[in-house]
Amino acid sequence: MTTGAGDTDHAAGPAADVFISYASTDATVATAIVDGLERHGLRCWIAPRDVVPGSLYADGIVRAINGARVFVLVLSEHAVASGHVGKEVERASSKRRQIIALRTDQAPLTPAFEYFLSESQWIDVGAGGVVAAAAKLANAVGNYLAAAAPATAGADAHPPAHLPMPVPVGRSGASPRPNWVAIGAFAVIGFALVWLLADKFWPSRRVSPQSPAAPIAAVAPAAPTISQKSVAVLPFIDLSEKKDQEYFSDGLAEELIDLLAKVPDLRVTARTSSFSFRGRAVTVGEIGQALKVAHVLEGSVRKSGHTLRITAQLVRADDGYHLWSETYERDLKDVFKVQDDIARAVVEKLKLTLLDQVPAAPTRTDNVELHNLYLQARYYAETETPAGLEKGVAFYQRAIANDPGYAPAWSGLALAHFRQVANGYIPVKSGYEMTRAELQKAITLDPALPETYIVLGTLKMTADSDWAGARAMVDKALSLDPNSVLALVNSGHLTRAVGSNDDALKQFRKALERDPLNLLTRRYMARALYYGGRLEEAEAAVRQVLELSPSFPAAHYELGRILLARGQVNAAAVEFQAEAIPGWKELGRPLAFHAQGRMAEADAALAAMLRRSAGAEFQVAETYAYFGDTDHAIEWLNRAVGNDPGTLWIRGDPLLKSVTADPRYRAVLKRLNLTP
């Protein structure tokens, strides 16, 4: 469906200063633009917010374009492909409306778009992201309306209050076109895998590929200088004939990241950020600038039977100069030797002090079949889907059958079962029991495996409310791997749950310094800002997530809660409805209906939540508290203890504010071993 482009029966609402035309895929960008314009006192018309139920939609579109004085087009490949958007542009052109195009990608224009936009203004979504572009757009619209106001007669003359100061905006006919290649090259994909505990607590390693609406520079933490002792390892390209070895290529790159991260004084970008460039036409220089590294390691893998061909090259990010390259043709059993050779060559070229050899993981196996099963298990489990997790569990079990003494397989199996619990795919109690047994087995086999302690720490927090035990596990993981972003994010969650929200924010920011494109960590930081009452910062942070990945799970839900707290009820309702994950959308809808005074619909939406409440008991309690029903809120908080990881966020929860003075609330905190 193309929202704002006529395919349902609605009519336009009141006349506005600006008509917003966009493809439904670009809804997040369009909503951000409307927010920015309306903060400057500009009245916008956008579907579905401003449609009048029961009227013909096409008539409404025509009236809205006729009534608006400026036509803003969110110009993207989706808009160019939309027949509805094309008709809207044609109508605006025929009515001689001022057209301003906000271009978000490098998609080529059709001849029709070239014709209709030949005299329009252009604004790029540049390094400042959508928020900055919205400010430029507000200035451009205000500039036009201020200039046109004296010539406007009668009731139609309605210059908005607080017109922004004008800034120069180039016209396509008056200046060279923007460098879309450079802009597009800065865009990044999101990541494929999100964990439900990731949605509530668990730090993710990957997020799903999306077409972002903003460049990396909009979210990457700034650094004063880029250390020459820094490197990002990109995912190696799978050149196998059947293109079925991506799991192996990813495993190779991740092994290199792990090896290099153990080298003293070498700064290595975390996997989530470096893997975000998979399949993108970006230059090494742009990657280096986005990730704040001086060097990039890239390569390819061709695997045929037991024969392996690996090509690797180390490139300077500032000038693209190749410092080193090598091709290895080996038997598959020599893969670990090849990894060591590559890592050694990298540190040598970076002139780092290296001891006898590149540090190797103590749990590395020489069993090629076992290693292959383990890589496949992790690859499938990280998809986060029911089928993917089932496949991951099956491959982990095959790896354990191959070698019952291989600790990483036991640790991975524990994590997979834990994620199944978190996603609601298997019952909580039995899932927790399996996870505990598998973690204990992994620790017995290898007490030095940091990932095991991270999962165990999560379990102690969410299932046991054992905060001291969780702290011991997080500290243990960090002592074994000081570079672990997952352990650092876990530490932030623990700090926020039992201590200071501000201190937790510092840890989330530190994690983002190491892994700047980890969208889940950024979403958690937005939530902590929301809890701290820093609503403007919280909104900016979660919008950065959505700019990079418009369908990132729970991000629209988070934004909806923030907007409710800011008093922007209708905008919050739009965000809840835009949530890509049905479960999170279901959690947001009753809040929106209640805030809008639509009580019957709010009660119906709550009833729908209750029918699928297993694993979401904490959100049910939040909803009852928001409705002012203290008794049911307390009842569901008690149900959530030990059953819903969301209880980790109970202290300071803005949605629970109405119940915090009740002695029964303090009793729930006591059950969770938390202080009021």
pLDDT tens digit sequence for 400-431: 999 999 999 999 999 999 888 876 678 778 88
Q: What is the pLDDT of residue 149?
A: 59
% pLDDT > 90, the chain: 33
Would you state the pLDDT for residue 153?
40
Whether 304 has a pLDDT exceeding 50, the answer reads yes
- Asked whether 307 and 331 are in contact (CB, 8 A), the reply is yes
pLDDT band at 179 (very low <50, low <70, confident <90, very high): very low
Comparing 469 with 118, which gets the higher pLDDT? 469
23 plus 170 within the same structural domain: yes
CA distances from 591 to 588, 636, 657 (A): 5, 16, 14
653 confidence band (pLDDT: 50, 70, 90): very high
pLDDT of residue 383: 67
Q: Are residues 180 and 77 in the same domain?
A: yes
Q: Are residues 40 and 114 in the same domain?
A: yes
Provide the CATH number for the domain around residue 235: 3.40.50.10070
Q: Are residues 40 and 154 in the same domain?
A: yes
Query: With 50 as the cut, is the pLDDT of residue 534 above it?
Result: yes
What whole-number distance in Å separates Cα of residue 265 and Cα of residue 274?
A: 19
**What is the Cα–Cα distance from 199 to 584, expressed in whole angstroms?**
9
pLDDT of residue 214: 37
Residue 242, C-beta contacts closer than 8 angstroms, at least 6 positions apart: none
Looking up residue 112, the CATH number of its domain turns out to be 3.40.50.10140
Distances, alpha carbon 632 to alpha carbons 213, 368, 626, 653, 663, in Å: 41, 55, 11, 17, 14
Asked if residue 255 belongs to a domain, the reply is yes
Of residues 508 and 211, more confidently modeled: 508
Q: How confident is the model at residue 536 (pLDDT cuts 50, 70, 90)?
A: very high
Calpha distance 358→342 (Å, rounded): 10
Kindly state whether residues 173 and 233 are assigned to the same domain.
no
Q: Tell me what the mean pLDDT of segment 645-654 comes to.
A: 92
Q: Average model confidence (pLDDT) for the chain?
A: 78
Query: What's the pLDDT band for 318 if we cut at 50, 70, 90?
Result: confident
Residue 73 is predicted with a pLDDT of: 93
Are 133 and 141 within 8 A, CB to CB?
no
In terms of Cβ atoms closer than 10 Å to its own Cβ (0-12, 13-18, 19+), residue 66 is middle
Question: How do the residues of the chain divide into helix, strand and coil, expressed in percent and rounded to 5?
Answer: 55, 10, 35
For tokens 């702290």, the residue is 471
Where helices occur in 481-518 by DSSP H, the ranges are 485-498, 501-514
Q: Which tokens sit at 183?
A: 């802009």
The last residue of a domain, from among 331, 361, 391? 361
Q: Contact 324/313 with Cβ under 8 angstroms?
A: yes
User: Does the residue 567 lie in any domain?
Assistant: no
Q: Tally Cβ neighbours within 10 Å of residue 44.
A: 22
Q: Burial-class residue 174 by CB neighbours within 10 Å (0-12, 13-18, 19+).
A: exposed
- Backbone CA torsion sign across 610, 614, 617, 619: negative
pLDDT at 224 over 60: no
Q: Do 171 and 232 fall into the same domain?
A: no
Q: What are the angstrom distances between the C-alpha of 664 and each of 260, 324, 638, 675?
A: 51, 65, 9, 13
Please compute the mean of the pLDDT values over residues 333-358 and round it to a whole number.
63
Point out the least confidently predicted range of 119-123, 138-142, 578-582: 119-123
Whether the pLDDT of residue 356 is over 90: the answer is: no
Residues 164 and 286 placed together within one structural domain of the fold: no
- Domain for residue 617, yes or no? no
Residue with tokens 């990894």: 339
The answer to whether 380 and 395 have CB atoms below 8 angstroms apart is yes
Is the pLDDT score of 229 beyond 80? Answer: yes
DSSP-H helix ranges across 82-227: 83-94, 111-116, 129-148, 180-185, 196-200
What's the pLDDT at 549?
80
Is 515 inside a domain boundary?
no
Most confident of 8-12, 26-30, 87-91, 437-441: 437-441
Element (H, E) at 233: strand 230-233
3-state SS track over 562-618: HHHHCCCHHHHHHHHHHCCCHHHHHHHHHHHHHHCCCHHHHHHHHHHHHHCCCCCHH
What Rg value do the Cα atoms of the chain yield, rounded?
A: 27
Least confident among 146-150, 310-314, 442-446, 554-558 = 146-150
583 in a structural domain: no
Answer yes or no: is pLDDT of 154 > 50.
no
Split at pLDDT 50, 70, 90, the class of 14 is low
Answer with the one of 344, 361, 378 that is the final residue of a domain: 361
> Given its phi and psi angles, is residue 10 left (phi above 0), alpha (psi -120 to 50 degrees) or beta?
beta
My answer on whether 305 and 165 are in the same domain is: no
pLDDT at 202: 41
Rounded Cα distance between 100 and 458, Å, is: 49
Does residue 261 fall inside a structural domain? Answer: yes
Kindly tell me if the per-residue pLDDT of 505 is higher than 80. yes
Take residue 54 and report the two structure tokens written for it: 């029961």
Q: Does residue 169 surpass a pLDDT of 80?
A: no
The verdict on residue 419 lying in a domain is no
Residue 34 lies in a domain: yes
Distance, in Å, from the CA atom of 245 to the CA atom of 165, rounded to the nearest integer, reads 55
- Residues 234, 178 share a domain: no
Give the separation between CA 516 and CA 276, rounded to whole angstroms.
11
Confidence at residue 13, expressed as pLDDT on a 0 to 100 scale:
44
Task: Please check the confidence at residue 632 and state whether its pLDDT lies above 80.
Answer: yes
- What is the three-class DSSP state of 375? helix
What are the Cα distances from residue 376, in Å, to 248, 250, 399, 622? 8, 10, 10, 39
Enumerate residues 6+ apart whose C-beta is below 8 A from 422.
195, 196, 197, 198, 200, 202, 615, 645
**Which residues touch 217 (CB under 8 Å, ≥6 apart)?**
127, 129, 186, 289, 290
Question: Residue 666 pLDDT more than 90?
Answer: yes
Q: Which residue has the higher pLDDT, 159 or 260?
A: 260
Q: In whole angstroms, give the CA distance from residue 180 to residue 172.
A: 13
CA distance to 283, 374, 410, per residue, from 395 (Å)? 36, 7, 11
More confident residue, 499 or 180: 499
Is residue 378 a contact partner of residue 413, using CB atoms and an 8 Å limit?
no
The dihedrals phi and psi of 536, each to the nearest 5 degrees, come to -65, -45
pLDDT in tens, 371-380: 888 888 888 8
Domains of the chain: total: 2
CA distance 593 to 605: 8
* 176 and 258, same domain (yes or no): no
Residue 281: the pLDDT is: 67
Average pLDDT value for residue range 138-164? 56
Cα-flanking dihedrals φ and ψ of residue 354, to 5°? -125, 135
33: burial class by Cβ within 10 Å (0-12, 13-18, 19+)?
Answer: buried
Domain boundary among 361, 387, 410: 361
Helices (H), 262-302: 271-274, 284-291
Range of the domain at 91: 10-185
Residues 179 and 282 both lie in one domain = no
- Do 68 and 17 lie in a common domain? yes
- DSSP-derived 3-state class of residue 103: strand
